[in-house]
Amino acid sequence: MKKKETIPDQIWMFFCSVKLTVYTLVLLAATSIIGTVVLQNGPPQQYIALYGKGFYNLIKVLKIDDMYHAWWFLLLLLLLCINIVVCSIERISLTWKIIFPGKIRFNPDRFRRLKNGEIFTQKKDFQTLSSEYKVFLTQKVGKVLEEKTDRGCVFYAEKGRWTRIGVYVVHLSIILMVLGALVGSLFGFKANLQLDEGATTDIVYTAKTRAPIKLDFSIKCNEFEVKFYDTGAPDDYRSNLTIIEDGKESFTENIRVNHPLRYKGINIFQASYGTAAPDSALFEILENTTGESIKITLRIGEEVKLPNDQGVFMLEGFLPHFKFRDHDLGEAFFGKVFLSDKQSFQIALPTKFPTFDKMRKGQFSFVVKEFDQKYYTGLQVTKDPGVWYVYVGFILMIIGCWVTFFISHQSYFIEMEKTDQNTTKVLVSGKANRNNQGMTLKIKKFATILKGK
């Protein structure tokens, strides 16, 4: 009577099913394709413009906009790991017995029936010939087992039993790489940081949600340098950064694109740059009716009296993009003029057009004479504690595949029989657990060498 399967047995059989492996891999492949087609970590407006509001709601619910961190995708990876582990446990006991048998046995009849057998005769003395063959097999393969027969003897040797564990090395490599992806998703982050020259911070902001993350150290941008081609396109840019820990400078290093700074598991990449708001600028204030003028350096938030005490000008701030009649005039200072007759108005002073304010034809004109151009460095700050799992898994994957596909468990068999014509009949055969064609060629090579002894 067939034993009834219990619920634990059914669960075990479910997880060790090869079908589960196939289905899981197909689902991972299909969802990965979706992840490459659908924009990842984009702004909501972009999804709504591309797919509509209804489909955007579905994207948000299933987290397709951040698919590789979605709970269901991580669950698929975990399911694959469990499946591989259970399958390995299910089969490793039999493999272990093959690799480490209590006593090595062989069946001569099995080797006699092999199609790759090579048969030839030798006229040399049987005892001398058997000694030479045994030494040859020991040198080429390893330890030789010898059995006497009615008319002679047989030799058996093997190598590469351990190669059967190659597939489990591949399994382990997959588990490590998936585990690395899970650890990186759960405990790592990808953040951005815009840091002005001279500024210091220990706070970075996640790329998607802009949530703040506090680092264990501070980053200071000492200097940013950019070089341009003649066309105006950026040629090279670098940031000179100092790492500050416990109030002390640890070290200073230059970073460039593809040359990041790495410290305590944190990677700091040069990602972008831009112009930062200058602290101050030199202005010339003209009294248009009298031609009287003054030059003064103002900081953001400071104010100065106009000529003849006719009012006050306050420098309010700096705009990276100033639009005038739908034209982007670039960077511009802006401020407010308070005249003595209680009139007030706001003005913009584009840096690329220093005399722009003269077109206003008011009582006073304001001219930007000079200012210190400052930049901010755009940094990408990442942490991936699972990356070493992935590296180790990748190395094991190469080793496991090499062992599995290019090395085999090989068994060699030599039978020697005395004939009535005072000659020795020799049979050379062998088998391997993979690449039988290659084994046939080795048997022919062995036979050719043995014929010459």
Q: Which long-range contacts (CB under 8 A, 24 or more apart) does 335-340 make?
A: 335/366, 337/306, 337/311, 337/312, 337/313, 337/364, 337/366, 338/311, 338/312, 338/313, 338/314, 339/306, 339/310, 339/311, 339/363, 340/309, 340/310, 340/311
User: How far apart (Å, rounded) are the C-alpha atoms in residues 263 and 260?
Assistant: 10
Can you read off the two tokens belonging to residue 322? 């100033």
- pLDDT-derived band of residue 149, with 50, 70 and 90 as boundaries? very high
Mean predicted lDDT score pLDDT of the chain: 89
User: How far apart (Å, rounded) are the C-alpha atoms in residues 331 and 348?
Assistant: 10
Whether residue 70 contacts residue 63, with contact meaning beta carbons closer than 8 Å, is answered with yes
- pLDDT-derived band of residue 422, with 50, 70 and 90 as boundaries? confident
CA 401-386-163 angle, 5° bins: 20
Can you read off the two tokens belonging to residue 275? 């112009």
282 class by beta-carbon count within 10 Å (0-12 exposed, 13-18 middle, 19+ buried): middle
- pLDDT-derived band of residue 412, with 50, 70 and 90 as boundaries? very high
Kindly report, residue by residue over 388-405, the tens digit of the pLDDT. Answer: 999 999 999 999 999 999
The mean pLDDT of 357-374, rounded to a whole number, is: 87
pLDDT at 32 over 90: no
How many CB atoms within 10 Å of residue 354? 16
DSSP 8-state secondary structure symbol assigned to residue 386: T
pLDDT for the residue numbered 432: 95
Residues in the chain: 453
Q: Which of residues 226 and 26 earns the better pLDDT score?
A: 26
Kindly report, residue by residue over 86-129, the tens digit of the pLDDT. Answer: 988 888 888 888 888 888 889 999 999 999 999 999 988 899 99
Rg (CA), the chain: 39
Residue at 379: amino acid letter? L
pLDDT for the residue numbered 372: 81
pLDDT for the residue numbered 291: 84
Residue at 118: amino acid letter? E
pLDDT for the residue numbered 334: 93
Which positions ≥6 away from 8 have C-beta within 8 Å?
none
pLDDT at 3 over 70: no
pLDDT for the residue numbered 39: 82
Which positions ≥6 away from 235 have C-beta within 8 Å?
227, 228, 229
Q: How far is CA 161 from the centre of its chain?
A: 35
CA 39-45-47 angle, 5° bins: 35
Highest-scoring range by mean pLDDT, 4-8, 216-220, 307-311: 216-220
Kindly report, residue by residue over 274-329, the tens digit of the pLDDT. Answer: 877 788 899 999 998 888 889 999 998 999 998 888 899 999 999 888 998 888 89
pLDDT at 235 over 80: no
pLDDT at 1 over 60: no
The mean pLDDT of 332-339, rounded to a whole number, is: 92
Q: How far is CA 429 from the centre of its chain?
A: 48
At 151, phi and psi to the nearest 5?
-120, 15
Q: Which residue's entry shows tokens 């200072």?
A: 333
User: How far apart (Å, rounded) are the C-alpha atoms in residues 135 and 146?
Assistant: 12
pLDDT at 408 over 80: yes
Phi-psi region of 106 (alpha: psi -120 to 50; beta: other; left: phi over 0): beta
pLDDT at 204 over 90: yes
SS3 340: coil
pLDDT for the residue numbered 325: 86
Kindly report, residue by residue over 192-202, the tens digit of the pLDDT. Answer: 999 988 899 99
Q: Which residue's entry shows tokens 């059989």?
A: 13
Select from 174, 64, 51 the least CA-distant residue to 72: 64
pLDDT for the residue numbered 232: 67
Q: Which residues pair with 272 in a beta bridge?
A: 378
Is pTM beyond 0.85 here? no
Distances from the Cα of 231 to the Cα of 227, 228, 273, 274, 275, angstroms: 11, 8, 18, 18, 19
- pLDDT-derived band of residue 5, with 50, 70 and 90 as boundaries? low
The least confident of 6-15, 326-335, 427-436 is 6-15
The least confident of 23-27, 93-97, 207-211 is 207-211
pLDDT at 253 over 60: yes
49 class by beta-carbon count within 10 Å (0-12 exposed, 13-18 middle, 19+ buried): exposed
At 346, phi and psi to the nearest 5?
-105, 145
pLDDT for the residue numbered 4: 59
Whether residue 131 contacts residue 146, with contact meaning beta carbons closer than 8 Å, is answered with no
pLDDT above 90 covers what percent of the chain?
48
